[in-house]
Amino acid sequence: MTKILDAKSIIESKIDNLTQTCQLLKEQGLGPKLSVILVGENQASVLYVRNKERFCDRIGAEFELIKLPESISEKEFLSQLNRVNNDDSVTGCFVQLPVPKQLSHLDITQLINPEKDVDGFHLQTINDLYLNKLDNFIPCTPKGIVTLLQENQITIEGKNVVIIGRSHIVGKPLSLLMQALNATVTLCHSKTKNIKEHTQLADIIISAVGIPHLITPDYINPTRKQVVIDVGMNKLAGKTVGDVDFEAVKDLTSAITPVPGGVGPMTVFSLMQNLLLSTERILKRGK
């Protein structure tokens, strides 16, 4: 029987703990506060940000949305970012990506105050991951995937992990995290020849490319009892689907994530964990 790795049960079992930590931090004088800068009206971004706001509400963290017009000047954008970076009441912040053209030359993830870098994309943060130090912020999607595996008693150490996609948000940091957790990692991308040859040898396959139904039964080796993790969130004929053709692949695997309801909510959950970590640290440092 294939196990469906859904996020809901994990989040339900852990949310009280986050809520209590949040309350405790407030009692100690610094409530967690997430500030998100959203430039323009990108539909997917608006939806992602709304999910983050909802989760903050659920655990009792403050949420601030700084909505800026699509046409905002670089100067005004930087001034807003600067304000958030230096606002002592803000304990975590990020700019929702992508940003409009006039800002795209900016290295935005490097402009975030590393102390509040709950996305985990600043190079100072990534440097720790590079050095196998896992006590700093870990990028949210990779962190959520590891939580999902660990909570389902799926061992990472010693496994062949094949990741498809080398984005800065998922593929690259995930490859570092998996190596730090003693997996053997293969990172495939658009120029990899015959990706199937790699996935056939995997114990854990993770797809993060954004191509609907890329992963079909021929990518799977049913004799290996593989685990398939789908990071994709794509629109196909009006429906949200992953990179994996779930119905076709499901029965060939030992465990698989659904889309929606798998990696997506785990990513937001990880963001909340990072927010509490940043708040705890700022509080400690202030004492």
In the complex, what is the shortest distance from the CB of residue 243 to ligand GUN, in angstroms, rounded to a whole number?
Answer: 15
204 binds ligand GUN (CB under 6 A): no
Annotated catalytic residue, options 116, 117, 119, 203 = 119
Half-sphere exposure in the Cβ direction for 109 (13 Å, CA): 14
94 binds ligand GUN (CB under 6 A): yes
Greatest distance between any 2 Cα atoms in the chain? 57
Catalytic residue list contains 96: yes
Which candidate, 94, 20, 26, 106, places its Cα nearest to that of 64?
94
203 binds ligand GUN (CB under 6 A): no
| Choices 72-80, 92-100, 190-198, 199-207; region in contact with ligand GUN by CB under 6 A | 92-100
Q: Which is nearer to ligand GUN, 186 or 267 (CB)?
A: 267
Q: Residue 170 and residue 230: Cα distance in Å, rounded?
A: 12
The residue to which tokens 């006590």 are assigned: 135
In the complex, what is the shortest distance from the CB of residue 131 to ligand GUN, in angstroms, rounded to a whole number?
Answer: 22
97 binds ligand GUN (CB under 6 A): yes
Q: Which is nearer to ligand GUN, 119 or 230 (CB)?
A: 119
In the complex, what is the shortest distance from the CB of residue 20 to ligand GUN, in angstroms, rounded to a whole number?
Answer: 26
Annotated catalytic residue, options 52, 116, 143, 172 = 52
| Choices 71-79, 91-99, 181-189, 221-229; region in contact with ligand GUN by CB under 6 A | 91-99
Residues 107-166 that bind ligand GUN (CB under 6 A): 119, 140
CB 220 within 8 A of CB 251: no
Number of residues that bind ligand GUN (CB under 6 A): 8
Q: Which is nearer to ligand GUN, 119 or 203 (CB)?
A: 119
Q: Residue 133 and residue 128: Cα distance in Å, rounded?
A: 5
Closest residue to ligand GUN, judged by C-beta, is 97
CB 34 within 8 A of CB 93: yes
Site string for ligand GUN, 19-58 (x = CB under 6 A): -----------------------------x----------
Inter-CA distances, 151 with 14, 41, 148, Å: 11, 36, 5
What are the b/e assignments for 138-168, b being 16+ CB within 10 Å? Answer: bbbbbbbbbbbbebbebebeebbbbbbbbee
What is the C-alpha end-to-end distance of the chain, expressed in Å?
52
Annotated catalytic residue, options 96, 117, 226, 243 = 96
Q: Which is nearer to ligand GUN, 98 or 192 (CB)?
A: 98
Stated as kind and residue range, the H or E segment containing 262 is none
In the complex, what is the shortest distance from the CB of residue 97 to ligand GUN, in angstroms, rounded to a whole number?
Answer: 4
In the complex, what is the shortest distance from the CB of residue 139 to ligand GUN, in angstroms, rounded to a whole number?
Answer: 7
Which phi and psi (to 5°) does residue 156 adopt?
-100, -40
Which candidate, 243, 237, 247, 277, places its Cα nearest to that of 167?
243
The residues of the shown chain that bind ligand GUN, judged by CB under 6 A, are: 48, 94-97, 119, 140, 169
Query: Which residues are part of the catalytic machinery?
Result: 52, 96, 119
